[in-house]
Amino acid sequence: MALGLLDEQGAAMIPYHRASGSHPVLAGTRAVVATRSRFAEDRPAMAVEQGIDQYVILGAGLDSFAYRSELGSLVRVFEVDAPATQQWKREKLSAAGIDPVGDLTFVSLDLRDEPIVDRLGAAGFSTARPAFVSWLGVSFYLDADSVAAALAGLSSMVPGSELVMDYVLPPELRDEGGQTYSGFAMPVAESSGEPWKSAFTPAAMERLLSENGFEAVEHVGQRDCIEPSLWQRSDALQPIGLWMAARAVRRGA
pLDDT for 253 = 59
3-state secondary structure of 206: helix
pLDDT above 90: residue 186: yes
The DSSP symbol for 106 reads: E
3-state secondary structure of 8: helix
User: Model-level pTM greater than 0.85?
Assistant: yes
> pLDDT by residue (tens digit) across 9-30?
777 888 888 899 898 889 999 9
Tallying the residues shown for the chain, one arrives at: 253
Domains and CATH numbers, the chain: 2-250 (3.40.50.150)
Rounded to the nearest integer, the mean pLDDT of the chain is 92
pLDDT class of 112 with cuts at 50, 70, 90: low
> pLDDT by residue (tens digit) across 67-84?
999 888 889 999 999 999
pLDDT for 14 = 84
Contacts of 107 by beta carbon, 8 Å cutoff, 6+ apart: 78, 79, 80, 119, 120, 123, 125
> pLDDT by residue (tens digit) across 116-163?
898 999 999 999 999 999 999 999 999 999 999 999 999 999 999 999
CA separation, residue 14 to residues 49, 63, 176 (Å): 37, 18, 27
Cβ-based neighbour number of residue 67 at 10 Å: 19
